[in-house]
Structures are given as structure tokens and as C-alpha cells.
Amino acid sequence: MLRPDDFDYLAKLLKERSGLVITPDKAYLLESRLTPVARQRNLKSIEEVVAKMRGRDESLARDVTEAMTTNESFFFRDTKPFDQFRDTVLPQVMASRAAKKSIRIWSAACSSGQEAYSLAMLLKENAARLAGWHVEIIGTDISVEMLEKAKAGLYSQFEVQRGLPIQFLVKYFKKKDESWQIDSSLRGMVQFREWNLLHELRGLGSFDIVFCRNVLIYFDQPTKSRVLENISRQMPPDGFLFLGGAETVLGISDRFKPVPNQRGIYCLSAGAAPAAATAPVGAGR
């Protein structure tokens, strides 16, 4: 059982670094996720982990944050947002960008990359419609470990069976030992970058379509508002934001409003600040 002062120390650190809110009823998460971190560093307990962190062990603090913020992800999660993307949002964005023929899509808090690659697969399936277009997909996450997995595009048999249609597995994956690796052409369509949603986002540039699903649920109200405000500054006035099924902007931020008849999709409210200029590739951390 974690001592109250150790719990408070961890909760404060996680809130500051990632926005993650851990309440006492979720203390079991600290036990289950930090025990492997302790073991990896030959520490006997989570108390020892905390003691070492109090001695300003930056790399340990980073590992602890990563372990706590790593969340599960799967291909075509919830299905409907991907149908909405293909059938409603993409055609609208293409119509408004017809002169520029360029679209930037952001998978925020992308974890091990399944959402970004699901979008890449949909774009590949619609390649004829997108001929002559430049489409960028950027996946960002706070966890270096998850980003490494995303870049490798290597998934277990279990992971490729949750949400991924079998035709897409055959078409876009190759078997590599007991795992499945996503095709190099799809890996080439997505850039993964380490980024903390609580930090300045301007270096990422402007995005026409933002997926930030099942992320806000882990934050408290002020952090949700701050993240939504930050995201809104990275979008043009006619951009679209996808949130998770259990998330909303209502009562949290007046910078976005729901798109009528499109559950889970939001656009900027009139008067929200215009998007930041697109940063040069490689900017930010």
C-alpha cells in the first residue's frame, strides 16, 4: 500500500508533466503500472521509486510518466469516426482546399500509431480521389517508447485482430515472425513526433483535421480547457476536431462547437483565434 505522501508526490508530478489526474481511488493504477518500472531498475518497491525520484532522477521520472500515460489503442477504434472522416469531413476539406491541394491531419496522443495508420489506410483506399494531393499525417505522443513502436509499425497478432478488417491485414501488412508489420509505403505516409499536449504546440504547425480521441477523459477540467485552447490555435477556421465518444467541449471550452448531425466532431466557433503559421518541418522537440 502506497504511503499518502508518496501518492501525493506521484499525483502532483504526473499532473504537472502530463496533465494526468490520479485520484486516490485510482491508486491501484500506480501499483500495477509502476511495479514493472521498479523491477526494471532493480528497485524493491514503488516507495523506492519515489525516493529515487525525490532525489531528482530525471530519467526515472520520465519512465514513470511514460508508464502511467501509455494507453491502449487499436485500429479503426469505434469505426464510426473513420466513416465520418471518409464520407463527410475529407470531402468537405478537399472541397475547401481544392486550390492548394494540401491537407494536414494530426493524430494527437497517438500511442502506438494505430489511429494514424488507420487514417493512412483510408487515404490509400481513396488514392484515386486524392491523386495530385499532398496529405500529411502527423502522430504525436508523450511516450518515446510508444512512438518507437509506432514508427516500427510492428503489431502482435492480438493487436491486428481488434478492429482491422481482414482485407486490410492482407493488403497492408506483412507477417514478420509472430508479429505483423505495416507496409513501408504506409509507414512513409505518417510522421511520428514526441510532443506533450500541455506544451506549446505552435512548432507542429496548422492542421485541417485533428483527432484527439479518448485523451481529455484523463484530464481535469482546467487542463481539458487548456488543451482544447492549444489545439484550437493550431487549426484554420474551417478545420475539424474529432473527440472520443465520452468527450465533449460543452461546458469546457467555447472555442469549439459541435458540427450538426456529426456526433463527436467539432469545428471552431466564430471568433476563435486563427491558426498559427505552419512551422518548418523538424521544428519543436
Partner 1 sequence: MKSCLIVDDSKVIRMVAKKILHELGFNTEEAEDGQVAYDLCKKNLPDAVLLDWNMPVMSGIDFLRELRKLPGGDGPVVVFCTTENDIEHIQEAILAGANEYIMKPFDSEILQAKFTQVGLL
Q: Which residues of the chain form contacts with partner 1 (CB under 8 A)?
A: 79, 157-158, 161-163, 165-167, 169-170, 174-175
Q: For residues 278 and 102, give the distance between their C-alpha atoms in angstroms, rounded to a whole number.
A: 12
- Smallest distance, Å, CB 75 to partner 1? 10
Task: Identify which of residues 39 and 174 has a Cβ nearer to partner 1 in the complex.
Answer: 174
Place of cell 506533450: 196
Q: For residues 38 and 46, give the distance between their C-alpha atoms in angstroms, rounded to a whole number.
A: 6
- Smallest distance, Å, CB 76 to partner 1? 8
Sign of the CA dihedral 68, 214, 97, 233?
negative
Residues ≥6 apart with Cβ < 8 Å to 250: 258
- Smallest distance, Å, CB 163 to partner 1? 6
Task: Identify which of residues 80 and 199 has a Cβ nearer to partner 1 in the complex.
Answer: 80
- Smallest distance, Å, CB 167 to partner 1? 7
Kindly tell me the burial class for residue 222, based on how many C-beta atoms sit within 10 Å of its own C-beta (0-12, 13-18, 19 or more). exposed
What proportions of the chain, in percent to the nearest 5, are helix, strand and coil?
45, 15, 40
- Residue 34 C-alpha cell reads as 509502476
Task: Identify which of residues 91 and 165 has a Cβ nearer to partner 1 in the complex.
Answer: 165
Task: Identify which of residues 99 and 170 has a Cβ nearer to partner 1 in the complex.
Answer: 170
CB under 8 A, 24+ apart: contacts of 83-90: 84/242, 84/262, 84/264, 84/265, 85/119, 85/122, 85/209, 85/242, 86/122, 86/126, 88/262, 88/265, 89/209, 89/240, 89/262, 89/265, 90/126, 90/209
- Smallest distance, Å, CB 86 to partner 1? 16
Q: For residues 246 and 128, give the distance between their C-alpha atoms in angstroms, rounded to a whole number.
A: 34
Task: Identify which of residues 28 and 158 has a Cβ nearer to partner 1 in the complex.
Answer: 158
- Smallest distance, Å, CB 185 to partner 1? 17
- Residue 237 C-alpha cell reads as 477556421
Is residue 207 a contact partner of residue 108, using CB atoms and an 8 Å limit? no
- Smallest distance, Å, CB 165 to partner 1? 6
Task: Identify which of residues 16 and 72 has a Cβ nearer to partner 1 in the complex.
Answer: 72
Task: Identify which of residues 161 and 196 has a Cβ nearer to partner 1 in the complex.
Answer: 161
Q: For residues 15 and 22, give the distance between their C-alpha atoms in angstroms, rounded to a whole number.
A: 8
Task: Identify which of residues 84 and 253 has a Cβ nearer to partner 1 in the complex.
Answer: 84
Give the closest residue to 115 by CA, choosing from 89, 146, 88, 87: 146
